Every structure is written in C-alpha cells, then in structure tokens.
A and B are shown apart, each in its own frame.
Chain A
C-alpha cells in the first residue's frame, strides 16, 4: 500500500509513545497476576499498535459516557487479549488504574475475558472464540436501521478464524453491505498450542476474504502510518465491509516474548518485567 506519510509526525510519535506505555502496563499486570492467574501477554502485544491507533487516534468515544449511543464500538473477538483493552480503557479514564491489579480476582470489574456488564467501556462480552464478528454485525446493522453514523470495529485472531461461525458472519456482512464495519485480522501466526499454519495449513487470508466479497487491505500491523491509512480507506469504502489483514508479531515490543509462543499465557518474573521496562524506555 501507499507508504506516503500523510499523518502528522507528532501524532505518530505520540501514538508510538502511548503504545510503549500500554505495552509496559500489559507486561506489568501480566507479571503481577503471576502464574496463579496467568494472563495473556503475547496476544495482547501483537494488537497493541492497532488498539492504540483506534482508541487514541480514530474512534469517537467518551470515557465519561461509556453508553453514548453514537460512540464507535470495538469488539475484541480474540477476547483473551483483553489485557491491552483493559490497560487502554483505564488509561483513557473509563475506570481507575488500580482496578488493573484486581484482574481475575473475585469481585473485580475486570474478568478473565471482556465483560460488557462489569467493565465500563467494553462494548460487547467476548472471549469464546469466533463470535465477535457476528456480534459486530448486529451492532452495525442497528446503525443502518437507525440511521446512526457510528462505526463498528472487530478484532479477530488468525487462530480463531478456524471457527466456522466467523464465516457465517462473513457472508452475512456482505449481504447487508455493512460498510460501517471494519474488521482487523491479527495475523500473528500463532495460536494456543502452536503455529497457525501448522495447526491448519493453507490459510490464505486475502483470497478467502475476497472470495466472501470483502474489501481486503494488507498492512504491517505495527506501523501507525499504515494502520491509520488503512482505517481511513476502510471507512471511505462504500457498499462492502473491509477487513484489514494486519501482519503482526506475537509478543511485539518485548525481545524475549517476540515470536515465542510460550508467552501466549504466562507471567513474566520481576527480572523479566525489569527488562521489558528498559526495552520500552519507561522511566
């Protein structure tokens, strides 16, 4: 795609800074949870740049009015990556940061997977894989029915695309011309127990989404310029839903986690947290 930087350098720099902060918070909370409550740092880190671009650079939201009817919606279909969503929502002011330390504890507003009733800012309960796209379709359809202008974003994992219900939703989104819905496919190449292509060979993402009738954009999921350009293209594309195939690195930003799938669900030690802090240049 066109690599010309049409975005203000200051915006990109501020998003990059924001992403470093969020990444550190992810690793900090994952470390705090320990092996007892094991959170999922790897899959959160692969979509951190996408999530930061959306929440800090694109989406129309109001942290002081989480149920605002015209807000843009985000559905984290790969719900196990919720560490990134929780840290962003707390940073934006949806809830106090101290809640992060209660993750996966009884009484917490932060459940093991996203919960729309317990956590301010969560638009849809998710976590059981494959279901986020269909949920997003319902929200996007409601906008069409009511003539509302909000946009719906769905983050799908490449592993969860093995679920059949994803494809039930894929065909229906085209039937109803849901150009007010944009999906991201987080192509990090890994799933719970191994590589996506070894688990299910022959995943040709562009071909199959195009065959279903979607507008497909391919990007580097760690380049803010590419992410923002793709979102703008998706929002301007009429009559069809768009999926942005984001090539990412699982564990991105933490040297020892990158492409090491053992970090799918694991707690970093205090020493490892310190390494992450230095790598992310957090003071």
Chain B
C-alpha cells in the first residue's frame, strides 16, 4: 500500500488543481470558483481550459460560497477553493446554512491548512477549521496526506453526493503513496501493522512524521499499527474501534488544535464504546506565530519525536491501567 519515503515533493494544491482539470476533461459537470485564489489554490489550469465554467468572486469568500450554493442548486458539482481560515471562519455561516443545511453539492477545498500557512502568521494559520466544520451536520470532512491522496480525494469528493470540506496544504510536501494507494471516503487506511502494542491514528501531512516514527518505535521494541484516518466525517468507527480492541492503546496525530479534530473525534467514539488510553499529538490550545512550517512543527510539538513520546506515555498508561 505504501511507497517508501521518496525524495519527491509535490504540493497538494497542485495535485488538487490537476485532479480537477482531469475530472472536467472526463466530462464531469463541474464549475470551479475561487475568491482571488485561482493560482494560489492550483486552479489556474482548469480556469484556462474551461473559462466558461470558471468563476472568480474576487476577495469575497462569503459570496464565493453563496454563488457555489446557487450553482449547485441547479445540479452542478461545484469546487470552491480558498484558504482554510476563510472557508471555515470568514464564510462559516454560508458553509453551514446554505451548503450543509440544504445538502448542496459543493466541495469546499480549504488550502493552507494547519502550519502550511506558517510564514503568514496566525491570521492565516487555520488550526481550528476541522473542529469547527466537524460540528456541522451533513458535511463530509476529509484531510488527505499527500499529493497522491489529494488527487484521489478530489475524485472521491466529486463522486460523493453532498457537501464536502477537504483540507489540504500549501507548498510541496513528501509523496508518501504509490499507485497502489486507494482512497474511499469514510474508510480508514491501514498503512502498516508491525504489531498490536498501540495504534497510531493520523491524518494530513503529519502522516509523514508518523511513518518516520514507525522504525524508531520498533527499535525501542514497540510494535505499532499505523492507520490513516483521512475522513474525519463520516468517521470509520469500525476500523477505529477494532484498533482499540486489538491494541488497547491509541495515539492520534494531527496538524490541528488539540480541541476538536481527530483526537477529539476518536476520544468521543472510544469513550462511549470502548475506552482505552488515548494520547494526542496536536497543536496546543493557543495562538501560534510566524515561521516556516518545519520550524513551527518543531516549536509546537508536531514532530516524529512527539509521536515517540506519546507512544511511550500511552504504553505506560496501558500497563498501569490494566
């Protein structure tokens, strides 16, 4: 399933834009819409080849989502793309009331997720978007982990009947998957199964760090199962509960505030059904600051090292809580 960690780096924005173009070429009845984000969201090639199906509202994200809703009400599949701070916060009410509530076929593509917008500072760093959007009914919420996953996720969301929020990154990030990778909405991917000491549940670009952690854990004698939970909603309850039963200890890894994202979703599920110790690798509940994504991940604890620490903590708890 998983390719070795390659040197190749591709931006998830570019992957999204390429996938959108391919879908349109294949005959999907797609309209693309941006808020002065055509180039910055990778939609330039689509806009150039399909100008009659391309809308740009200028810097007006609320209007972007309203127009998207109107277009979708006539039967079109609409991809609306901007930055995740704006799609989840500036235009939150439009997303909730006019897309999610009437179940309109709008795919909101939210770029610059997590620390990928790091150099811009807090105004552009969306660490809250997944928690916000997850609390809205009717929306499918996906967080692909690399360019390959983003391409497949774009296709999967186009085939999904209803509203979608897809969070992607910005600059080039490591390619993690090969052509054997599959992406099915609502179905977690088991990436590797060294053993059943604990399960690592991860989504987004931090899957790279989680993959790096696996051999290091093994060196310490810890045999883990690594699962990519690319869909936060609908959550793959079955796979997550099975991993809790098989392993008895879980860590979650995500580029998000510790409140509201994957960690919360998993904790909500397990606490009601099968409580096991859970440790969360996530950004602390505070505003961060400007720097490169790599430096910010280091400063705020979203690293391979943090995953190792969390693994040791959760195993300690598993042992002592037995």
Residues in A lying within 8 Å of B, measured CB to CB: 69, 115-117, 123-125, 127-128, 131, 133-143, 145-146, 165, 168-169, 171-172, 176
Contact = CB atoms under 8 A, between A and B. Distances in A.
A168 B62 contact: yes
A204 B73 CA distance: 33
A69 B74 CA distance: 7
A136 B98 contact: no
Contact of B102 (A69, A125, A137, A168): A125
A134 B71 CA distance: 10
Contact of A124 (B57, B62, B68, B70): B70
20 contacts: A69-B75, A115-B102, A116-B102, A123-B73, A124-B70, A124-B102, A125-B97, A128-B98, A131-B66, A131-B97, A141-B67, A142-B75, A145-B52, A165-B63, A168-B57, A169-B63, A171-B58, A172-B57, A172-B63, A172-B67
Interface string B208-252: 000000000000000000000000000000000000000000000
Contacts of B102: 115-117, 124-125
B303 interface: no
A138 B73 contact: yes
A134 B73 contact: no
Contacts of B66: 131, 133-135, 137-138, 165, 169
Contacts of A128: 93, 97-98
A147 B71 CA distance: 14
Interface in B73-91: 73-76
A143 B73 CA distance: 11
Contacts of A69: 74-75
Interface string B88-107: 00000110011001110000
A176 B55 contact: yes
B139 interface: no
Contacts of A171: 58, 60
B62 A165 contact: yes
Interface in B40-59: 52-53, 55, 57-58
Contacts, number: 97
A140 B67 CA distance: 9
Interface of B: 31, 52-53, 55, 57-58, 60, 62-63, 66-76, 93-94, 97-98, 101-103
A41 B228 CA distance: 54
B67 A138 contact: yes
A172 B71 contact: no
Contacts of A145: 31, 52-53, 76
A141 B73 contact: no
B70 A136 contact: yes
Given A117-B103, A131-B98, A145-B53, A139 B70 contact: yes
B52 A138 contact: no
B31 A134 contact: no
Nearest to A176: B55
B63 A139 contact: no
Given A124-B98, A168-B58, A171-B60, 6 more contacts: A128-B98, A134-B67, A138-B71, A139-B70, A142-B31, A145-B76
A149 B270 CA distance: 54
Nearest to A140: B70
Nearest to B54: A145
B69 A138 contact: yes
B103 A142 contact: no
A134 B97 contact: no
Given A138-B67, A141-B67, A168-B63, A124 B52 contact: no
B55 A141 contact: yes
A141 B98 contact: no
A183 to B, nearest CB: 13
Contacts of B73: 116, 123-124, 135, 138-139, 142
B195 to A, nearest CB: 48
Nearest to A142: B74
Contacts of B57: 168, 172
Contacts of B58: 168, 171-172
Nearest to A134: B66
Contacts of A117: 102-103
Nearest to A117: B102
A142 B98 contact: no
A135 B97 contact: no
Name the residue among B58, B60, B67, B97 with the largest chain A CB count within 10 angstroms: B67
A136 B74 CA distance: 11
Given A165-B62, A171-B58, A172-B63, A134 B70 contact: yes
B63 A142 contact: no
Contacts of B68: 138
A210 B289 CA distance: 44
B61 to A, nearest CB: 9
A172 B35 CA distance: 11
A222 to B, nearest CB: 29
Given A117-B103, A123-B73, A137 B98 contact: no
B67 A125 contact: no
Contacts of B72: 138
Nearest to B67: A138
Contacts of B52: 145
Contacts of A169: 63, 66-67
A169 B60 CA distance: 9
B98 A168 contact: no
A142 B62 contact: no
Contact of B63 (A125, A134, A143): A134
